[in-house]
Structure 1
Amino acid sequence: MNNHDLVVIGAGFSGIAMTIAAKAAGRDVIVLERADEIGGTWRDNRYPGVACDIQSHLYSYSFELNPDWSRAYAPGDEIQDYLLYVVEQYDVRRHVRFGADVQQAWFDEETSRWEVAFTGPEGRLETISCRDLVLAVGSLQVPTVPDIPGLETFAGELMHTATWVPGTTAHGKRVGVVGTGASAVQLIPAVAPDAAALTVFQRTPTWVMPKGDHEIAESTSERYERRPALMKALRAKIRTSNESRALAFVKQPALMKAVSLRARAHLRSSVDDPQLRARLTPSHTLGCKRIPLSDDYLETFNRRNVKLETGELIAADATAVVTADGTHHPLDLLVLATGFDPAAGWKAVNVFGRKHASLSARWDEGIDSYYGVTVPDFPNMFMLLGPNAELGHNSVLLMMEAQVELVTKLLAERDRRGAAMVSVRPEVVPAHMAEIDERSQGTVWLQGGCRSWYLDESGRNRTLWPGTVGEFERRVRNPEWVDYEFTS
């Protein structure tokens, strides 16, 4: 059958949650996943040291808590194993078409249905039709590659953290890591002990907070399994603690200067050399960029085989990279820990709505969405963790679950009314986006003295929700039906 109620693009955390909700509502759902396995971010990111920076017991579905996490902050492979378990537990796998690389999706105004064209594992182009389309593609799937002249001529091992080749080792090699963001902070301590020499190429120093990671005793896990209420209480405690950070991020960035005292103390206690500490000290306000958590990243710079290089990378050749002072840095393994393009994944889907409206063009113009879910001129189409639905202070899975509930309610209300389509009213979106812009102005992301991937090219926040999770949940879980069009 090539006709379905619902097509979900992407089989990561969001796509799996949407599929489970659609199945529960009795909808015929199919998931198009371009890879050969589920998992999204946690399937692809396999570099040494990869882990979550949200506490394990909060980084899971609310309807499927896991008592068996091994650490306070779960390693990446453990999160992937959790997703594999959920997929089997809720019979999701039979709904997934693996190796399905979506090329284009367009809304047929004559039939009020979406047509989705994709290539299968053999490269053959197929098209399926559906009533509803959900984009669960995520913002952390298209790696950002720095523009270093000659990089393509490098003859050693070259990879991005998101494309880490299994089996790759740093043992006895001259290793270079470009970047000092969240991925680099996890990778560098993991590869430094094995490398003959490790050079970290830093463009901007990053504030690093202590992680406080630790093993979870088997007896504790057994207790949570016997008494789930204890695990739920811990989850609620973690959530509340994280929510308290929103005040400093969103309303009073000056508070972050006080919080940065802890980061400064962490730096002082970790790095012996005062000159090196100075080079590792950021000038921007804590929170302006994503805050990495690590107990051993800073200490790694005390190692004799580790060097911090702050000169600009201007070129690469077959054996080395070159900094602005003309120094050649010979390398065997070069790792790009340079993050992701948050808009690229959404644009790559190539979606066209009413009157050939292009979602990609909307992104280029600075996309206006309603709670990161609906976009004018794209009826029966929904995004999960779209614009302004990411977080800087808490688990995005909380936001995603609220959005899944909104989509479920919109579809149910449309069907109850006997309508063919549901879409956000174009006139309500400008006021919503104006509120986002106004509230973003006072945040640390705009006032902290840095540029980050949170902001688009014009300097507008088009990534993060400028408020608490609780506020977001209250708004989207109690939708105002007058904000939506239900049409025949």
Structure 2
Amino acid sequence: MTTPRLVDHVIVGSGFAGLCAAIKLQEDGETDFVVLEKGSDVGGTWRDNTYPGATCDVPSQLYSFSFAGYDWSNSYSPQPEIQAYVQQVAAESGTLDRFEFDAPLTDAAWDDAAQRWTVTTPRGVWSARFLIVGAGALEEPKLPDLEGLEGFHGEVFHSARWNHDVDLTGKRVAVIGTGASAIQIVPELQRVAGHLDVYQRTAPWVIPRNDRPYSRLERAALRRVPGLRRLYRTGLYWSHEAYVPAFTLQPKIAAPAKVLALKNIDKGIADPVLREKVRPTFEFGCKRVLRSNTYYPALAADNTELVTDPIAKVTGTAVVTEDGTEREIDVLVVATGFHTTDLPIAHHLRGRTGHTLAERWEQTGMAAYKGTTVPDFPNLFLLVGPNTGQGHTSMIFMIESQVAYVRDAIRTVRRRGLAAVEPRADATAAWNRSLQRRMRRTVWTTGGCQSWYLDEHGRNTTLWPRSTADFRRRLASFDMEAYS
């Protein structure tokens, strides 16, 4: 039997969330930790998603840590640059000596007698007082349930597991999906494919991207002028927060943005029939609002066909739609999102009762207190947990807010000489009742769409239904009165 290695903290994941937790714990003098990462490098989502055109849809200055600047090349950052940023921050943080790579968590169980977590990976076992999970929601790709998919003879891969060994030049390619990844992939494939089929279930709202490279002067000023980067970031933050009332209170406020989106269609597509196919039929913001200047022109290109008929099946060489049309292809790209309302890691976390977090959520729906802690799971902290997601701004702001809350929780435990803390069941239930009441008036509930924000019961368990400033205020300090 393997003897567990004793540490104060186990952090799971080395993307933005896990890295932020490691850096801030070290700042507090909490240096006895290990970061367990299933991959071979830091970066998480930005390490794994290397598809053509992969770019952040939040401005660079906002999609970065408040405490770690970077010399960004563009107003919106491409994937390689974000990955390089995470690598640089990790290298400069002085924490990498406590990272274990190629170490996926296979089991984490609370030992009530020892008041510790036993965390198991293929690379070893750790015993920790605190377990901080930063695995994220965009971790496990979701494949469509299509008849015959496994029998397709050509290359097939998910957007998050891109096969760069496949040369797509001149090939007949199909893309299933029209979400955030797909609208970045489609323009890139259209340039090289012999023919491209894009399968659309529902048309998304797409506003202009307005991306541009920073000039040499701008980059120098952002590096050297004291306070300029912070001022620029603050302006971007509040401009994005201006979307919140339209999403959470009154969709009519989004009218100017809808006009921009409709003009984006008219600018990119001349054919009135195709224009009608890509015109959204639900309220602006009900699904994630996307940004692109190149998606619509790619759909309008001579070598692209937008298919809106439902897919019936996949054969060895083609995609067949319900109207009987069979479209021959060489490569199938699946851009159908992730398991966001059924977090895969929840199946590996076992609390005081011996049940997994996934089993608990099967009964209650995915829920946590302040998106961070769960009854019967002492000293467990979830980063990017239930109802912390964003449809309008940077998740880094939410991550930093949660990490501040976790730090204060650990300080409280140490100051009071406690062994463990967990949220009271009544406090957790009250928090989520209030949250779901607020959710009823949001565009995500009333906007007339089915989105990945909703679970199988139609509950929005992913997004925060208020401003991010309100979230930060509510997590500004650890509220011991809500815990036992």
- Describe the shift of the 1:346–1:372 C-alpha distance in structure 2 as closer, same or farther (beyond 3 A): farther
What root-mean-square deviation, in Å, do the aligned CA atoms of Structure 1 and Structure 2 show? 1.2
Which residue does the alignment assign to 1:123? Answer: none
The residue type paired with residue 378 of structure 2 is P
Q: Distance in 2 between matches of 1:42 and 1:228?
A: 29
Within 5 A, what are the aligned runs for 1:41-120?
41-66=45-70, 68-120=71-123
Corresponding position of 2:224: 226
Distance in 2, Cα, partners of 1:61 & 1:425 = 32
Distance 2:434 2:17 in 1: 26
Match of 1:314 in 2: 312
Deviation at 1:118, TM superposition (A): 1.3
Residue number in structure 2 paired with 1:35: 39
SS, match of residue 363 in structure 1: helix
Q: Which moved more, 1:284-293 or 1:472-481?
A: 472-481
Offset of 1:24 from its aligned partner? 1.7
- Range with bigger deviation, 223-232 or 380-389: 223-232
Name the SS for the 1:8 alignment partner.
strand
- Report SS of the residue matched to 2:206: coil
Moved over 3 A (4+): 343-349
Corresponding residue SS for 2:297:
helix
3-state SS, counterpart of residue 354 of structure 1: coil
Query: Is residue 263 from structure 1 mapped to residue 261 from structure 2 by the alignment?
Result: yes
Partner residue in 1 for 2:249? 251
Code of the aligned partner of 1:180: T
**Which residue of the partner structure matches residue 142 of structure 1?**
140
User: What is the total number of aligned residue pairs between the two structures?
Assistant: 479
In 1, distance between residues paired with 2:269 and 2:106?
A: 49
Any conservation in 1 of the 2:135–2:345 contact (CA below 8 Å)? no
Moved more, 253-262 or 75-84: 253-262
* AA matched with 2:67: F
Asked if structure 1 preserves the Cα contact closer than 8 Å seen for 2:341 and 2:462, the reply is no
Would you say 1:452 and 2:455 are equivalent positions? no
Q: 1:105 is matched by which residue type in structure 2? A: A
* Counterpart check, 1:433 vs 2:438: no
Counterpart Cα distance in 1 of 2:218 and 2:367: 46
Question: What are the residue-to-residue correspondences of 1:149-188 with 2, within 5 Å?
Answer: 149-188=147-186
| Fraction of identical pairs, as percent | 39
2:212 corresponds to which residue? 214
The Cα of 1:257 is off from its aligned counterpart by: 4.3
Note if contact 1:388-1:462 (Cα within 8 Å) is conserved in structure 2: yes
TM-score normalised over the length of structure 1: 0.96
Moved more, 43-52 or 24-33: 24-33
Aligned residues of 1:253 and 1:442 also touching (Cα < 8 A): no
CA distance in 1, matches of 2:185, 2:226: 34
Secondary structure, counterpart of 1:54 in structure 2: strand
1:169-219 deviation line (CA, Å, top 9, x unaligned): 321111110000110010001111111001101111111011101111122
8 A Cα contact 1:347 1:363, kept in partner: no
Deviation for aligned residue 1:258: 4.6
Q: Paired residue for 1:394?
A: 393
Alpha-carbon distance in 2 for matches of 1:358, 1:175: 41
* Shift, 1:102, TM fit: 1.2
| Structure 2 counterpart SS, 1:360 | helix
Q: Which residue of 2 aligns with 1:26?
A: 29
Cα distance between partner residues in 2 of 1:353 and 1:187: 41
SS in 1 for 2:130: strand
Q: Which runs of 5+ in 1 are unaligned?
A: 121-125
Alignment partner of 1:203: what SS?
coil
In structure 2, how many angstroms separate the alpha carbons of the residues matched to 1:221 and 1:420?
A: 48
Any idea what SS the aligned residue of 2:105 has? strand
Secondary structure in 1 aligned to 2:119?
strand
Map of 2:271 onto structure 1: 273
1: distance between equivalents of 2:378 and 2:411? 15
